[in-house]
Copies of this chain bind each other. A is one copy, B any other.
């Protein structure tokens, strides 16, 4: 197994000579194996290791036992060790997240702090092949593109995952062959319900009933997806480098990035999406809170008339002018090629899980919709022929007759901003939302839309 991992590390260039590596050590089988293997690999790459254990302040004595074992093992291997105590439960409460999520946040925070203290260059974590198959299925079921289908990357943002090439069983066999003990894996009890279902029920069932090799097959398909993803990103980058218009302020911060609409329209659908994604990432600095629906909604602007825009998370907007498609920061003065009459309000989208009992906002500028009902790209625009809404009984009503019934004067009707999915109106801003998209007991995911600065009162 050591050789498999060494090959994997070499092939993916996980380490450079002289790397200083923080090793995340829970004391469970996976992380124990990671530390032992990296310690063996030390000479090969001239690595300096430091093991870091995070005590979550949960599970009382059991957690103390894990901490102690992690410390003892490190000492035995001659690896410097440190243990950090955190209050996962308190942090969870404070930040309104689950204890598991809080634990993950805190762990990576500690690892990063320890890395800086240690002058470390990498952080090694113990995710293995089974975790990878589980991650790919989890992403697939929840909705993902090629990036998510690719699962975890062996190296990203200084995090390395040398064990992705081996399975849980191989790890256990290796530890038992080498007489290395470990704590019963405490992280398992920490993982959330969905992941646990996949790990304990769905994946074993698939392996047993459909294909014993399903785990590896999933990982292989994921690898193809991640290679395709990397290639498509490279193609998008090259288009942007050669044809993009990147605007930076005097500090060098990107505030606006655009590319010709003609050029984008001549590219494949999938490349258009990657170009927009790269522009968003460039202007925003990250893809935080950006979902597929944002990218698709921005891409959909290309097919509509010039002048339309949509809001994106992180205070960005996507604007289509006559000849260019722009991603820009909202607070920056409009510098795009055609001066726009942007009278449409800014609408922020955010997506989150719905839990029963959540209070649905009851005001004119924040609306919740059932995200699962949305199948196509959303637009913020004025009305067009064919627009309709869904009534309580499930029937349709044209927007025109709704506006007539609502006694909106004819000359005002064209000035009301709408959020639409094709011709289906989700929200007549300032008036009502469509029955079709309302939150029900069956809702799993909410998309919240929020008007900027209450420009319209509803």
Interface set of A (CB-CB < 8 Å, partner B): 138, 140-146, 148-149, 194, 197-198, 201-202, 205-206, 209-214, 216-218, 220-221, 224-225, 227-232, 234, 268-271, 292, 372, 375, 442, 444-445
Contacts and interface: CB of A to CB of B under 8 A. Distances in A.
Contact of A206 (B141, B220, B231, B375): B141
Nearest to A203: B141
Nearest to A271: B231
15 contacts: A140-B218, A140-B221, A142-B211, A143-B216, A143-B217, A143-B221, A149-B149, A197-B209, A202-B202, A202-B210, A211-B444, A213-B372, A220-B292, A225-B225, A227-B270
> SS class of chain A's interface: helix, strand, loop or mixed?
helix
B149 A217 contact: no
Contacts of A224: 145-146, 149, 270
A366 to B, nearest CB: 24
A299 to B, nearest CB: 12
B140 A231 contact: no
Nearest to A234: B268
Closest 10 interchain pairs by CB? A143-B217, A227-B270, A141-B214, A228-B228, A145-B224, A213-B372, A141-B211, A141-B210, A231-B268, A194-B210
Nearest to A376: B7
Contacts of A444: 211-213
Given A202-B205, A210-B197, A141 B228 contact: no
A432 to B, nearest CB: 24
Contacts of A144: 217, 221
Given A144-B221, A232-B228, A202 B206 contact: yes
